[in-house]
Amino acid sequence: MKMGLVGYAGTGKSTIFEWLTGEKPDPSKVQQGQTAMADVPDERLAAISAALKPKKTTYTKVAVLDTPGLTQGGDQKDNARRLGVIREANGMVVVLDGFTRTDFAVQLQKFREECLYADMEIVGNRISKLETVLKKKARPAKEIEADEAEMALMKRINATLESGKPASTLNLPPEEEKTVRSFTLLTLKPEIVFVNRGDSGFNDPLPADLLALAPNAVQAPVKLELELLAMPDEDRTAFMADYGVTEFRRGATIRAMFYGVGRNVFFTVGEDECRTWSIPAGCEAVEAAGCIHKDLSEKFVRSNVIGYADFVSCGYSEKEAKTKGMNRTEGKTYIVKDADIMHILASS
């Protein structure tokens, strides 16, 4: 899974990139974007590993993509080009300036307008191409029907964008979503809003006008946290007290990014390794099996499943869970719950 950091120049995206991944920004990759990985912290896996003491503990990862900053009041076409870098990502982390400005809702609305314009450009180009193609009548009827259906869909999306609404408000059914998937429209991507605070205000509640636009918005004093983490332990404790920092928010931010794009996890546990696996929310057991290995999905027989709360109540013991009837046998179509403990059985 890949999340892209997006926003205007000067909002601190590259500092956030370093904070999330531990990688220093590379100036030579400013225009094409820079990617690095970050573990998705999970206290539940930490508790399982503390109890079972496996040889290895592996957290699922999220790829973080730092993208070129947009120019304030600049050429919309140039900003659309810069936004093109984000199209490969599964979701967007929209970074707002919280250290020199307080008009967060205004900043977010302006950024969303940039996304609308960028998508209109893509959709408009596709409509023009379809108009040319549809003039050619000497083609199979099915091909013409498919192009006409796509044209109707594209015009519907374009009208929505022109009205100032994102394409996501159309709630496209699976077949239509599949039709437009290759265009990677920005306004169809999940969005997390992040307010990059300075060394004050980070304990204040976010303003109501921002939360009305982005109910799941998060905030953190990124530069301050990086500076605190670089200090010796004894100095860090004193400075944290001075600034009112009671916790570091990096882990919570990564989890907000991960779950904010509709992901869940399931666990595999054992003496050799305890691990989290990333899956789409609402996925079936056979699809989850494929996340471990393609063969497990193709040769899936069944899965043994223990809910996380049941696993904890059984002292993190699969044997105890089985004795108490909490280790269930589920088939291919079982909808995997977040934090399920799963053991996949496949044919040889």
Q: Give average pLDDT by consecutive 10-residue segment, the chain, 348 residues.
A: 95 97 92 94 97 97 95 82 91 97 97 96 96 90 93 98 97 95 96 96 97 97 96 94 96 96 96 97 97 95 97 96 96 98 94
Predicted local distance difference test score (pLDDT) of residue 77: 82
> Has residue 172 been placed in a domain?
no
Predicted local distance difference test score (pLDDT) of residue 7: 95
> Has residue 57 been placed in a domain?
no
Predicted local distance difference test score (pLDDT) of residue 312: 98
| Domain span at 289 | 282-346
What burial class does residue 273 get, using C-beta atoms within 10 Å of its C-beta: 0-12 exposed, 13-18 middle, 19+ buried?
A: middle
Give the chain's domain count.
1
Question: Each residue of 149-168: pLDDT tens digit?
Answer: 999 999 999 999 999 999 99
> Has residue 151 been placed in a domain?
no
Predicted local distance difference test score (pLDDT) of residue 44: 98
> Has residue 314 been placed in a domain?
yes
> Has residue 245 been placed in a domain?
no
The answer to whether 16 and 97 have CB atoms below 8 angstroms apart is no
> Has residue 192 been placed in a domain?
no
> Has residue 137 been placed in a domain?
no
pTM of the model: 0.92
**Gap between the Cα atoms of 304 and 331, Å rounded:** 9
Predicted local distance difference test score (pLDDT) of residue 137: 81
318: CATH: 3.10.20.30
Predicted local distance difference test score (pLDDT) of residue 138: 84
> Has residue 74 been placed in a domain?
no
Angle (CA) 322-327-328 rounded to 5° is 135
Residues 6+ apart with CB under 8 A from 300: 285, 286, 289, 332, 344, 345, 346
The answer to whether 39 and 251 have CB atoms below 8 angstroms apart is no
